[in-house]
Chains A and B, each alone.
Chain A
């Protein structure tokens, strides 16, 4: 049997969930035996294979147009979509921005901050346009939610090794954390 292909991506998060994946330490070598790691921020493949992957993992919520595109692309190319971490599951800390208007936040960052000199709000078409911050499941269907900020290395190892062996992981007891 060939190894299941796995792709990962990060959106409006802090990279901490991917770091927690690396925190499985030496077990990383074990996991790489079980899965075929394709596009990921830690490899040089830029997006999930057009021919599809079995598992897609998304860290972070959706806070702009680029993230929307990333989430939809991953959904269309994977069989099982995993929302990894509180940001992906609920929106997390970045969703605190929803208590303000986007205009207010941009003004503070690019015009009002004390160190900014002659500021203005960048609008180049190359830049993603900020939106309300949403959980992944508000934009695409999510199959597995893994909460935690970040989820512990142990729960990530559990999720990946279950999926690699063709089982849907159960996340409960000591594996279930909300902080």
Chain B
């Protein structure tokens, strides 16, 4: 008998294009190996050559419409460094405020609109209704609240940058508009509701976890390192600071300024994916793999500097007795704790006496010609690195995007979940959906990853050991 290959394409309710191939063993009873293929290549690292540094905050957001603000701000920060023009404090506060808007909209949307159908309707629900339309029908109240939470985050971005998607706000050296008192008050009006909705989401998550402990415990639990920005006192940091890498045991391996990233981080290439695989150079590939994003960030910190999120974090930390949390499905929980932090942080920023200041742009340049901009995008550490000539024209650039750092983890999770759940010869849709959910839990931004690299559609092909496709599952 010939072994099978299953293809899932496109993987849905993720951002971008990917496909999964599951290769069965000779007996067609169990899985030999499963691959996550990121399928598209776009080439931003080439075609931005020759553009002006100040254009980069406008061009690079087109890498990703889900987290355009991450690229907008990372590009502006790299521009600050290239021009040698650190922004005045009020400009940094305003940029961070916009970033918090993005964390709220991106995380909120992921929990409800993308992962929500699995969590609220079930992995095994009919695929025809297992989506946001099904949510509207089954849980209209919470769906409306979810839509409003995303709207709140998007409105913060619009108020600051003129539009919700691809705003024009940050420029090298600062930002182009100060915040008015009226707009500050407008943002404050929606805050309580945003916090309340996030807390509802957290209680939904906890209920779900209590009922689905079996899935949580056997669904892609594995050790890696963890990586991200951190405050001086090891608190949660999303906008600026040093990078910290810890090992699977929780011990610190490295702590370094973002501009030194090339000394520590390398990218490995595999033939079956357009998305590269970052790793920690001193341990090499594949021993040096690590995870980023909400799960990774909450593993590298000791505390969160806002009260509600910190309370929640303390409980979360106890899940694994203070050790790093390895369960892929806890990405959902950690994502909500960060959403709570972002909402509380909005208040801290708006209460800052500098937030209405008009000192928002540093026009005195001390040209450096090279610069690195790093930010914690919703999905993890995002690195922009530019080299420019004296005219300010980009000579070359290097980008490492958040989803890239998780490439190993996503691939590993897909392989593990396929091996745990998929048994031949009859394969049920709900099980394949769990394989997709292994990807979805990471909330990959395949547009981001395919910057250089493509997007992420998804098919499942079942191929036999001889390479013949036996079954292709595209849901219709």
Please say whether chains A and B are actual partners in one complex.
yes
Chain A residues with a Cβ under 8 A of chain B:
10-20, 22-23, 25-26, 28-29, 32, 37, 39-47, 49-50, 63-64, 66-67, 70, 92-94, 96-97, 99-100, 102, 104-106, 108-110, 113-120, 122-124, 126-128, 130, 149-150, 152-153
Name the CB-closest residue of B to A33: B136
Compute the total of residue contacts between A and B using a CB distance below 8 Å: 228
Q: Are B37 and A109 touching (Cβ within 8 A)? A: no
Sample of 20 A–B contacts (CB below 8 Å) = A14-B62, A19-B165, A22-B109, A23-B164, A29-B140, A41-B12, A41-B15, A44-B130, A47-B474, A66-B39, A105-B46, A108-B46, A109-B453, A115-B400, A117-B266, A117-B267, A117-B268, A118-B268, A127-B39, A128-B41
Kindly state the separation between the CA atoms of A32 and B452 in the bound complex, as whole angstroms: 35
Q: Is the CB of B43 within 8 A of A108?
A: yes
Report whether A149 and B166 are in contact in the complex, using a CB–CB cutoff of 8 Å.
yes
Beyond A126-B19, A126-B21, A127-B274, 14 additional pairs, beta carbon < 8 A: A14-B63, A14-B447, A16-B66, A25-B147, A29-B136, A70-B457, A96-B48, A113-B398, A117-B266, A117-B285, A120-B269, A122-B272, A124-B273, A126-B272
CB of B12 within 8 A of CB of A116, answer no
A15 near B66 with CB under 8 A, answer yes
User: B282 at interface (Cβ–Cβ under 8 A)?
Assistant: no
Contact between chains at A16 and B62 (CB < 8 Å): yes
Q: Quote the shortest CB–CB distance from B275 to chain A (angstroms).
A: 9
Q: Taking the nearest CB of chain A, how far is it from the CB of B169, in angstroms?
A: 15
**B:7-66 near A, CB below 8 Å:** 9-10, 12-17, 19, 21, 35, 37, 39-43, 45-48, 59, 61-66
Are A46 and B459 neighbours in the complex by a CB distance under 8 Å? yes
A45 to B41, CA, bound (A): 24
Q: Which residues of A contact B66 (CB under 8 A)?
A: 15-16, 19
Number of B residues near A (Cβ < 8 Å) is: 84
**A residues near B143, Cβ cutoff 8 Å:** 29
- Cβ of A124 and Cβ of B454 under 8 Å apart? no
- Is B113 an interface residue, CB under 8 A from the partner? yes
Check if B127 is an interface residue, CB within 8 A of chain A: yes
Chain B nearest Cβ from A61, distance in angstroms: 10
Do the beta carbons of A109 and B41 come within 8 Å of each other? yes
Whether a CB of chain A sits under 8 angstroms from the CB of B475 is yes
Closest 7 CB pairs of A and B: A16-B65, A105-B43, A46-B474, A43-B131, A93-B62, A105-B46, A109-B452
Set of chain B residues within 8 Å of A99, measured between Cβ atoms: 47
Contact A109 B46, CB 8 Å, known A16-B65, A42-B13, A122-B274:
yes
Note all chain A residues with C-beta closer than 8 A to B131. Answer: 37, 40, 42-44
Q: Give the residues in chain B near A14, CB-CB below 8 Å.
A: 61-65, 68, 447
Q: Is B174 an interface residue (CB 8 A)?
A: no
| CB contact under 8 A between A32 and B41, given known A14-B65, A15-B447, A114-B385 | no
Contact of B47 among A96, A110, A118 (CB under 8 A): A96
